[in-house]
Structures are given as structure tokens and as C-alpha cells.
Structure 1
């Protein structure tokens, strides 16, 4: 004999009530707050997009924030246009890069630009009035040793204000950075239209 829809609904409600009680018990034990070090890495798409999503959340909460772009500075992206046009009072935007390394083909210049970006990043992170700083594509600068990962880790460990969130994006995050971070997400690649001959498009890639 099969169960009636009423019996199914009652069983579902009972199951959800138990789940809610267990969830409420877990949440009751989570009271602490702190400024997080957040890393988005991996070969899949969405690392910068996720970081900018957090920046827009900060803007919505009227929390002062800032962006430092280490690689894509030569691009006029949708995120940059939106922030600079409508939210410049809440979010500082600093495009410090000149493009991907295979475009500049000048290691000394890439290092100089990365160091300039890191100097600006430290200035912003040290400012206790700024609640979140997004370091977009800094992991690429670290991967190519344009910046010293030990210096980045030391600074975040010792000088970041306690309630400031710092988000670091880019594939191939260094192990030292992953070890330091409070939250690490690895984007995995399943399919990408680029492999089918589709170029990067506004609203999707930039």
C-alpha cells in the first residue's frame, strides 16, 4: 500500500523540523566574527566574479571597500565601469596591471607594476575604515614570483586589521597562502566555451 500525499507531507515536515533543530543548534555555537583572508583559486571560471560579488555585497551594506587589479588593469571591464561610475564613494578601484604576462613580454616591467600594486594594497588594507579589499589576480603575480609570497603572508598575518576582509583571486594559489587563509575555494573546470572557439564576451568574461 502506497503512502498518501498527506502522509508524505507529514513525514517531510517532520524530517525538516529535525534538520532545522540540528541547524539551529550548530548556528547557536557560532558567535565569533573576524576579518577573513579568502582565496579563490583553481582552473575554472568564476574566481574574480565571486570576488566582485563580495564587493557588491559590501557596497549594498554601505561598507567601504576597495579593489586592486594586478593583471587586468589594461581592460575596461564591466565591474570597473559600474563601480567607478556609481559607487566610487564606497569603493576605491585601482587598476595597477598592464595585461597578462604574455602580452607585456617584459618581466622587469611586470615586477615593477606588481610591486606598485602591492604597495597600494598594503595602504588600503592598513586603513581600518576599509572593510574589504579585493586583490584581483594577485595569485598570478605570486605564481610568477613578481611578488614574494612570504612577504604577502607575513603582512596579512601581522598587519591586517582584525576586522578587515581580504580576498585574493587567481589560479595556482601558493601553498603558503592557502595555509594562511580562513576560506579557500577552488573553481574546477568542467566545460568552457573558449575550447569550442567562442571568444570572451561582455557580461560573461568582462
Structure 2
């Protein structure tokens, strides 16, 4: 059978369309020359908030950028990210698990507040260090939601003391509105479907 001739008209239209798109993208990027340490918020009911934060930490490691993690909830849980970062990248990434577990597990508000305050003190110490380029505050939004930490105090610290090129990532559901307003980058994870509702428990490699 003879070969089908190429769809030259369609290819030409596609090439012209992509050329216009590239020109528009190039124009948009022309003025984007500033560098800034970002305040980044991952929130919402969907899965992926911490996972995305840890993905950014791995990018920092790949670039040789010192970074740090403070976990406000998971505490002594044996998670895959903790194993990986402490076991292989401890020279570039500090890892501090400061939480006591979810509030419904501890059932002790005073203990939860003390753990959150302890985690925030460590976070401030790490953020102040200009050598550390990214600090992930994992699940801090939970502490903010329950009032274990004062959101205004957190924002005041970030505005006054965060070095200009340091990125700070705050994860967890129900990020307070003042934090969302102050942040440079906010992503809301939307829950569409979750296996937990079908009776499937959290599994290694997916949940932890």
C-alpha cells in the first residue's frame, strides 16, 4: 500500500501555533529576572501536600542547597522520607520530627501546644540561618488551625527575620486566611477520590 502523505497543512498550522505560543512565553519571561525567597503554602483536603513539599526538598538537595525539615505532627513515625533524608542526605538536609502525633491521638491540648511551640522554636532557628535555603514546616497549618501557634506571630517573624533568599514551605489542611494572603505561592490540593473511603489503609510508599 502507498504511504499516507504527510498532513503538511496540519503540521504547518501546528508549527505556527507553537511559534506564537513560544513568542508569548518568551515575552512573559523577559521581565522575570528577580530572585526572592518564597513563602509557599500547600493546603486543601486532597493528598499530596507533604509529598509536594518533600519533592521540593529533594530538588534543593539535587542542587546542593542546604535545607531543613521540621515536622509538627508526625513525631517519631518511621516514614520513607525520614529514612531517605536522614540516611542518605544528612549532610545537606537537617530533619527534626517535633510532633507528638495527631491531636485526636494525644488527647492532651497542653502537650500538643508545647510540642508545637518547641517545633516553632526550632523552625525559627533554622530559618534565621542564611546558609539554609529552604525550610519545610510540615503540617504546621494543623498547629495554626487549632491555635497551638499564633498565625500573626508566625507571619511577623517571616516578614522580619526570614533571609531574603530563603524559601519556607508550610503544609497542612485549612491554612488560615492571613497566611494565604501573605504567601507568595499557594496551592490547594482538591480531594476527588481517596482509597481510605473504600476501606484501604495508608500504605508505605504512598502515605508514608
With structure 1 as the length reference, what TM-score do the two structures score? 0.98
Whether 1:158 and 2:160 are equivalent positions in the alignment is yes
Residue 174 of structure 1 is matched in structure 2 by 176
Residue 81 of structure 1 is matched in structure 2 by 83
Residue 3 of structure 2 is matched in structure 1 by none
Could you give the per-residue CA deviations for residues 110-155 of structure 1, whole angstroms, max 9, x where no partner exists? 0000000000000000000000000000000000000111100100
Give the SS at the match of 1:189.
Answer: coil
Give the SS at the match of 1:66.
Answer: strand
Whether 1:37 and 2:36 are equivalent positions in the alignment is no
Give the SS at the match of 1:163.
Answer: coil
Structure 1 unpaired stretches of 5+:
none
Could you give the per-residue CA deviations for residues 155-202 of structure 1, whole angstroms, max 9, x where no partner exists? 011110100000000000011101110000000000000000000000
Paired residues, number: 204
Residue 65 of structure 1 is matched in structure 2 by 67
What is the CA distance between 1:70 and its match in structure 2?
A: 0.1
What is the CA distance between 1:74 and its match in structure 2?
A: 2.6
Residue 143 of structure 2 is matched in structure 1 by 141
**Matches for 1:85-124 after TM superposition, within 5 Å:** 85-124=87-126
With structure 2 as the length reference, what TM-score do the two structures score? 0.97
What is the CA distance between 1:20 and its match in structure 2?
A: 0.4
Q: Distance in 1 between matches of 2:25 and 2:150?
A: 42
Q: 1:132 aligns with which of 120, 126, 134?
A: 134
What is the CA distance between 1:73 and its match in structure 2?
A: 1.4
Give the SS at the match of 1:167.
Answer: strand
Give the SS at the match of 1:118.
Answer: helix
Give the SS at the match of 2:168.
Answer: strand
Whether 1:54 and 2:46 are equivalent positions in the alignment is no
What is the CA distance between 1:29 and its match in structure 2?
A: 1.2
Structure 2 unpaired stretches of 5+:
1-5
Give the SS at the match of 2:187.
Answer: strand
Q: Which runs of 4 or more aligned residues in structure 1 lie more than 2 Å from their structure 2 counterparts after TM superposition?
A: none
